[in-house]
């Protein structure tokens, strides 16, 4: 009986925490697999919570001798439900960590992009993006397509390392101009 009375506080905490997780992790900000795992963990936890509440209600509605006989005949039932609740809370915590890890990764990707822009602006106040787009829009269609298909250019573009492609020639050189205008 004491354990069942103590379960009330535990159940209230579980339900409150579950509501927070449901509000915080939605389809908009969590991947489908992670959200599905979180929802499954919550459903299992809620189900076990309801089972414990039903068991408690049944016992509380009985008189003291009946409660004593039930406790003697089913000594581990309540303890088993508490153990199951603890295990499910651990599982839920792991699923929440996975969801939060995804959020952190997304945030870091955004920070990286923001930091890159800040660094480029610190290096030069020239609006390079606007200049590049102006020149790119003014180029003749299909200009420099041959250069973009060239083996050396493709190897350079597809490399994962930080490698420079050295093009020798004057600014008047059509191949060099074509490459610079291709974007």
Mean per-residue pLDDT for 94-113? Answer: 79
Contact 144, 182 (CB under 8 A): yes
For residue 183, pLDDT beyond 50? no
Question: What confidence tens digit (pLDDT) does each residue in 5-47 have?
Answer: 677 888 889 999 999 999 888 888 788 888 999 999 999 999 9
Backbone angles phi, psi at 167, to 5 degrees: -110, 120
87 Cβ contact list (under 8 Å, min separation 6): none
The Cβ-side half-sphere exposure at 105, using a 13 Å CA radius, reads 9
The phi-psi region of residue 87 (left if phi > 0; otherwise alpha if psi is between -120 and 50; otherwise beta) is: alpha
Global pTM? 0.54
Q: What is the pLDDT of residue 169?
A: 57
Cα 112 from Cα 126, distance rounded (Å): 21
Of 23-37, 113-127, 128-142, 146-160, the range with the highest mean pLDDT is 23-37
């Amino acid at each position: 009986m004491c354990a069942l009375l103590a379960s009330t506080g535990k159940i209230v905490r579980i339900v409150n925490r579950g509501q927070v997780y449901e509000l915080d992790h939605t389809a908009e900000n969590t991947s489908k697999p992670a959200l599905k795992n979180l929802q499954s963990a919550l459903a299992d936890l809620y189900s076990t919570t309801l089972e414990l509440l039903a068991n408690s209600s049944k016992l509380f509605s009985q008189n003291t001798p009946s409660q004593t006989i039930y406790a003697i005949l089913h000594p581990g039932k309540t303890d088993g439900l508490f153990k199951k609740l603890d295990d499910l809370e651990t599982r839920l915590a792991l699923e929440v960590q996975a969801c939060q890890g995804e959020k952190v990764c997304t945030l870091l990707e955004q920070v990286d992009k923001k930091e890159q822009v800040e660094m480029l602006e610190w290096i030069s106040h020239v609006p390079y993006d606007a200049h590049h787009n102006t020149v790119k829009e003014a180029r003749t269609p299909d200009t420099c397509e041959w250069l973009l298909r060239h083996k050396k250019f493709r190897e350079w573009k597809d490399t994962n390392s930080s490698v420079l492609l050295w093009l020798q020639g004057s600014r008047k050189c059509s191949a060099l101009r074509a490459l610079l205008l291709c974007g």
